[in-house]
Amino acid sequence: MNTRLLLIQALAIGGLVACRPAATEPAPIDVQPLAIENGRFTPEVMWGMGQLAGYAVSPDGLQVAYGVRYVDMNENKGNTDLYLLATDGLTQPVRLTRTAASEGNLTWQDDHTLIFSRGNQILSMDISSQREALVGEIAGGFEGFKLAPDHSAIVYIATVPVPRPERFAKLYAGLNQTTGRINEDLMYRHWDTWVDDIPHLFYAPIIEGKVAADQAVDLLKGEPYESPMRPWGGTEQFSFSPDSKQIAYTCRKKTGFDYAHSTNSDIYLYDIATGETHNLCPAFEGYDQCPVFSHSGKMMAWTSMARDGYESDKSRLIVLDLESGLTTDLTADFDYNVGGLTWTADDREILANVPYRGMNEIFAFNLQTKAIRQITHSYYDVNGIALRGTKIVAPQVSIQSPAELYVYSLADSLSPGRKLTTINSDALSQLRMGRVEEHWIPTTDGKQMLTWLVYPYDYDSTRTYPAILYCLGGPQGMVSQSWSTRWNLELMSGAGYFVIAPNRRGCVGFGSQWCEEISGDYGGQCMRDLTSATDYFASLMPQIDRGSIGATGASFGGYSVYWLAGHNHDIKGYPDGQRFHALLAHDGMFNFEQQYLETEEAWFTNWDLGGPYWEHNPQTAHSYANSPHRFVDKWNAPLCVIHSEQDFRIVASQGMAAYNAAQLRHIPSRYLYFPDENHWVLRPQNSLLWHRNFIDWFDQWLK
């Protein structure tokens, strides 16, 4: 679980006291009123629901503390408060905090003391009295922390400035108001930020119950490298040894051009007493991440990819014997990815989250027998693992329900789990979610593809409805039983649409071959998979109006929409020969030559496109020939383009170019631009505008 904190500051609310403005304490954001009409799920209802925001199980496994985030749309912000619940599920939750500032980074010191963060502070709470005490404050802020097993110290994440060449100093002399940036290497920006600082790990002792931040030691002092790695890394990328004497951490010790072309990170072991660091896996070439010590301290497990430059390589489960130096791949005969590693108390098994045939499940891997068994199974995703003895607590989510905590047993086999929290039970009881069906449909090359079909929420078999093809981004990912405030299939259902959501070529969870068949073939079988899914349901379901089918997606899904726009003519069985009569693309790749030179992580385009467009070989020729901008002359369907300025993965000029192309061709088109969003749309009011625009656009052209 990514524990990088989103530290949201509350706005002051003014009041009148003695005829003068006076500051009052900001009010916490609490449960929001929901205006549910006729059981319909709308964007407004979605944003009014509570969001599970982190959790931690007590050492004895009897209690779980968890955060719930609510959003105030008028204030355009949210905040998280903490709750406590017994894991037997026999009591009601107890609210632990009621503040306008968010709490997070939950951990337990013992069965009676909870440790958490609020702003720049680390606090403890006696859960019986709910009295808080200040444990420490990091003046410059931090992104997360871990407590040493013996409670003698913490390791926290904070940023340090990126060193700049001294020769630039004379250029900036006397220019204290300039906004100019000088760069002479790559990776000067990443994901959604300019790289002016990078995260480092700091070890700070706890003295007489207080974090001695003034004695903090930078584990990478003087090194220009990230740990954890941007943009996703958090506290899961480092861990203490059981004796609290060593720290294992993830780092890709590269900068600039080398960083932009490589995914070769390693696991490093830092000795607290000596300050010495050594690389535990120098011969491993791909991503190595998220080290976890065994309880005995004799072994370490981490996730590992074999190939440098391939960010979607199979994620393996590697175990290192720290005494002998021997490594074992527990997934050598298991063709699925693993993550979220957790050792059992006896160190005999390692639990992992596994994307598996359209769901995220928990599997157990036995170190001695090499046996692999599946613990959970139903129509949901399990995203996390907290193991205490034989009890597993983890968030469960589905297409029809946001995340709630569930309880499983280590002895379970294909268990649906027992529901623990009820954050949104009241709201869900008032909603009529669209039915979700699992279909395995034939592809053009004779294989079977899992495709989810979501029915309109008001489905009547005697009527016809428009449909939307959902094109997954990634490009490597999985259309699973997920829930999101971004791409929410039930919102499309609530607007009165069938939703067709295929796990096309390139998706994980269906074996390595299925995943890898997308690389170097963006306009090939993966596109035929999308059109096969559309044609299958258009033929199977007379309730789908063949003249009212749209397509949508983001990132690679946005590319898919642009590509489909140029291959949307002379199709048998559809009115006017058009498969799609309205399109919407978010942050999509439009011009591959442009994309190659604009994106920040060069390894991605090198692997998936085959290299730069000036290197002439069969793979690059095929890749760049399938760039959507080459087929603009064949566009014939209305197109809505959405893009964000702070998206440095696929920059805003891609969206502008696509929109301008549609306008110049007199294709009905619309452009929604966000100057303050990244690859996603995270601010509440921006998100609400996004969803309202989405529904309005498709309603205009498909209804």
Question: What three-state secondary structure class fits 487?
Answer: coil
Active site residue 555: yes
At which residue do the structure tokens 């989103």 appear? 6
CA distance 672 to 690: 8
> How distant, in Å, are the alpha carbons of 6, 56, 64, 401, 482 from that of 53?
11, 11, 13, 15, 16
Residue 155: phi, psi to the nearest 5?
A: -120, 125
Both tokens of 476, joined, read 């490597």
If you ran DSSP here, which 8-state letter would residue 213 be given?
Answer: G
Q: How far apart are CA 377 and CA 359, in angstroms?
A: 8
Inter-residue contact 679 to 644 (CB < 8 Å): yes
Residue 691 annotated as catalytic? no
Helices 602-609 and 618-625 cross at an angle (nearest 10°) of: 100
Catalytic residue among 239, 241, 398, 555: 555
Burial of 209 (0-12, 13-18, 19+ CB in 10 A): exposed
* Cβ contact 397:406 at 8 Å: no
Strands of the sheet with 359-366, listed across from one edge: 339-343, 349-356, 359-366, 372-374
Q: Is 679 a catalytic residue?
A: yes
DSSP, collapsed to helix, strand or coil, labels residue 387 as strand
Paired residues of 366 in beta bridges: 349
How many whole angstroms separate alpha carbon 610 and alpha carbon 528?
Answer: 21
Instruction: Check residue 89 and give left, alpha or beta (phi > 0: left; psi -120 to 50: alpha).
Output: left
Distances (CA, A) of 111 to 86, 189, 566: 12, 43, 61
The owner of tokens 């359209």 is 358
The Cα 359–Cα 418 span in angstroms is 18
Within 460-543, strands assigned E span 465-471, 498-502
Write down the residue that tokens 């027998």 correspond to: 369
Alpha-carbon distances, residue 250 vs 67, 132, 328 (angstroms): 27, 33, 19
Which residues touch 295 (CB under 8 Å, ≥6 apart)?
242, 343, 345, 346, 347
Active-site entry in 401, 647, 687, 691: 647
Per the document, the length of the chain is: 703
Among candidate residues 200, 581, 586, 679, the one labeled active-site is 679
What is the number of alpha carbons within 13 Å of residue 149 lying toward its C-beta? 14
Residues with catalytic roles: 555, 647, 679
